[in-house]
Structure 1
Amino acid sequence: MAGDRRVGSGEATVVLADDSGPLRLPDELIADLDGIRLPETGVPGGPAAPRPHPERLHRAQYSYWAPLRSRIGDVDSNQHVNFIALATWYDEAVAAVTLDSIGTTAGGPVPDPPPRSYRIQYLGEVTYPGDYEVALTVRSVDTGSVHCELGVFRGNTCLGVADAIGPRGEPSAGR
């Protein structure tokens, strides 16, 4: 919130799993999570986010790549790279592709504005230390928006995917 204006929102799907797959969340945990649910967020047991299409998990699906190295500051209390850090990785990948596609060198203009929304799905653990690649492909462009698909990879393993929507913008003179 910025004053009385909502400027962002988010939601999460919690999955408890072991080697056999997903497990039922304990009733106490469900009650705790329901207790902190905001009023405008759906109903318990509602539809889960659709799983990514299998092609999204393969490197050949993506056109552009940005290397990234996890930093100790990216890690949460569970020793995983936290969601804010991952969201900034996606922003950095979009910026790197934008800068590369317009031929800008270091010290040039920063892409503006970044994507206005992401839908992120976690598929595996992103940890520290680690070297990763964030992949991107432009799925579609319409009159006002660019729709991108992104993935976080360690080697050939896809650890997460994201869908991003950003403003199309107009190229400036010289691009």
Structure 2
Amino acid sequence: MHTGVRRIGRSSFTFGQEVVVGAKRVGSGDATVVLADRSGPHRLPDELIADLDEIRLPETEVAGTPAATRPPPERLHRAHYSYGAPLRSRVGDVDSNQHVNFIALATWYDEAVAAFTSDSIGTTVGGSVPDLPPSSYRIQYLGEVTYPGDYEVALTVRSVDNGSVHYELGVFRGGTCLGVADAIGPRGTLRAGH
């Protein structure tokens, strides 16, 4: 496992990880941390910037460059998505900050894809669960997902190619989008019209 800082901005920094087996990269991810309070973002202290710079990965972005792209506005509206799976947060989903932790949230996306796939291929209640979980996610957090709460994970298929389905997903509480994700999973028996 390799980890380090990819980008240092004025009020945020992005760190990334890669999982390597032998010479092959088998997984990667990144996360952006923003220094902020209720009034908004704050400038990173010089001491923190110096510490982060010591663990900067080679060929990374410098201060003042744009952060990760924001999702397009339509992704923030429930009407963009053709399917929805209701979910209720569980106390076991909560981390020490009283938020639903990122691993639990990722499983919510998996559950929405499984429910959508079951409905698409006509699996009946008590039938076999389709073994088509996504193998790749890009997740952006936009708000706090907390306990207790009733949520909906919305989903639409962006495209289907020979071997993969490309999903767009969003987590909603009422009309508020709290996060979006892009996922790629195996096509299996999913038809192109779904």
Please indicate, yes or no, whether the TM-score normalized by the shorter chain is above 0.5.
Answer: yes
**Aligned equivalent of 2:176:** 157
TM-score of the pair, normalised by structure 2: 0.77
| Deviations 1:107-159 (CA, angstroms, capped at 9, x unpaired) | 32222231111111111100011110000011111222211110000011111
The match for 1:118 among 127, 137, 140 is: 137
**Aligned equivalent of 1:141:** 160
| Deviations 1:25-80 (CA, angstroms, capped at 9, x unpaired) | 2334445555566x478445464210011111111101000011111111111111
More strand per residue: 2
* Aligned counterparts of 1:35 and 1:74: Cα–Cα separation in 2: 34
* Aligned counterparts of 1:7 and 1:169: Cα–Cα separation in 2: 22
**Aligned equivalent of 2:121:** 102
* Aligned counterparts of 1:14 and 1:79: Cα–Cα separation in 2: 17
Q: Sort the Cα spacing of 1:77 and 1:56 in 2 relative to 1 into closer, same or farther, 3 A.
A: same
Query: Retained in 1: the 8 A contact 2:168–2:182?
Result: yes
The match for 1:73 among 87, 92, 95 is: 92
* Aligned counterparts of 1:7 and 1:100: Cα–Cα separation in 2: 31
| Residue 99 of structure 1: how far off its partner (Å) | 0.6
Bigger CA drift: 98-107 or 60-69? 98-107
Secondary structure of the residue aligned to 2:182 is: strand
Q: After TM superposition, list the pairs within 5 Å mapping 1:33-48 onto structure 2.
A: 33=52, 39=57, 42-43=60-61, 45=63, 47-48=66-67
% same residue: 81
Query: Please, what is the CA RMSD of the aligned residues?
Result: 2.2
Tell me the matched-pair count: 170
| Residue 81 of structure 1: how far off its partner (Å) | 0.7
Q: Which runs of 5+ in 1 are unaligned?
A: none
* Aligned counterparts of 1:109 and 1:42: Cα–Cα separation in 2: 46
Indicate the structure whose relative CO is greater, using CA pairs within 8 Å and at least 6 residues apart: 1
Q: Which runs of 5+ in 2 are unaligned?
A: 1-18
